[in-house]
Structure 1
Amino acid sequence: MKITINDRPYEVAEGATLQSVVVAHMGDKQTGFAVAVNQEVIARGDHDRHYLQAHDSILIIQATQGG
């Protein structure tokens, strides 16, 4: 099924969880970012229980240091 991650189209399997997509996109780095699906922030503890639907729009925001 088709989804978007940070405004880029991706194809994922039916029944994919948010956790599986985040791991595929971010690798093993599991800190310093927030995730929203269709403009709703999803708590990190819910990523493995959040099943994606066709045409979901995922936004991954990475924290950066600056001054």
Structure 2
Amino acid sequence: MQLIINGVLQETNATTIQALMADLGIETKVMAAAVNMNVIKKEQWSSFELHENDKVEFLQFVGGG
């Protein structure tokens, strides 16, 4: 399936956010995920189903001062 991940069109076999993050090797501790501009709660990452051409954004929080 094709997804737009952080603005880049990519092909994947992942069907959930958690599976997609594992495929991409993304660290889950400090991330937020949004699909089609809707923030998805971390508790839902393993069950939230992705669909063809979804726009997925992974956000990392960075501290600073």
TM-score, with normalisation over the residues of structure 2? 0.88
Using the alignment, how far apart are the partners of 2:55 and 2:9 within structure 1?
Answer: 9
Other-structure match for 1:10:
10
RMSD: 1.2
Using the alignment, how far apart are the partners of 2:11 and 2:46 within structure 1?
Answer: 18
Per-residue deviation, 1:24:
2.1
Identity of aligned residues (%): 27
Runs of 4+ residues deviating >2 angstroms:
none
TM-score, with normalisation over the residues of structure 1? 0.86
Structure 1 counterpart SS, 2:58: strand
Which segments of 5 or more consecutive residues in structure 2 lack a partner in the other structure?
A: none
Aligned length: 64
Matches within 5 A, 1:33-48: 33-48=31-46
Which segments of 5 or more consecutive residues in structure 1 lack a partner in the other structure?
A: none
